[in-house]
Amino acid sequence: MNNQSDLRLRIINHKLVQARWVPSPNYNQRPMNQSPSLLVIHNISLPPREYGGPYIEQFFSNQLDTHAHPYFQEIEGLEVSAHLLIRRDGELIQFVAFDQRAWHAGVSQFEGCENCNDFSIGIELEGTDNDEYTDQQYEQLKAVTHCLMMEYTHILPDRIVGHQDIAPLRKTDPGPAFDWLRYKGEL
């Protein structure tokens, strides 16, 4: 995506207009008077280290065939989601409206506040901790971040973290392959 089209990202009714909408049942209401004030960057690949295919969408929609790959039996029954997925080619897929509470952070804490799902937006990058992310993903992530910061003014650069920052004993994503300087350098 070029910079000119990046400027056109828009949010209407808490949905990114340019994202393909694939609704997840794995969400609930945020606590009363709680709006997004934290952005959490994650990674996911299903099966691990394999890209493309329908499996992430199926997983977030509780429609994953657990017999399609041996790894899927390990995650059977998990109910998780994210607000947004950025595929390797830059495609945007939204699963949960930004004003709703997606189930992406799990047991977590930021600046003394627990349950980060209550006040955060979760973005998944299709990838792993150790595989380089693509130029398209960085460009889309920067464009989406700018759009979110304009819409939800409590999301500031110092309130953009990785999953490993809010759940350090459990999570490692987006991992050492994620270039924070490249991403945050333009925010």
Give 110-168 pLDDT, tens digit per residue.
999 999 999 999 999 999 999 999 999 999 999 999 999 999 999 999 999 999 999 99
DSSP 132: P
Give the pLDDT score at 186.
Answer: 79
Asked, as a colleague might, if the bond just before 23 is cis with ω within 30 of 0, I would say no
Give the pLDDT score at 7.
Answer: 54
Closest C-alpha to 156, from 114, 124, 111: 111
Catalytic center residues = 124
Assessment of whether the complete model's pTM goes beyond 0.85: yes
In the beta sheet, which residues pair with residue 11?
Answer: 16
pLDDT of residue 3 exceeding 60, the answer is no
For the record, the structure tokens of 31 come out as: 């606590």
Closest C-alpha to 39, from 185, 184, 168, 136: 184
Q: Return mean pLDDT, the chain.
A: 95
Q: How many CB atoms lie within 10 A of CB 63?
A: 11
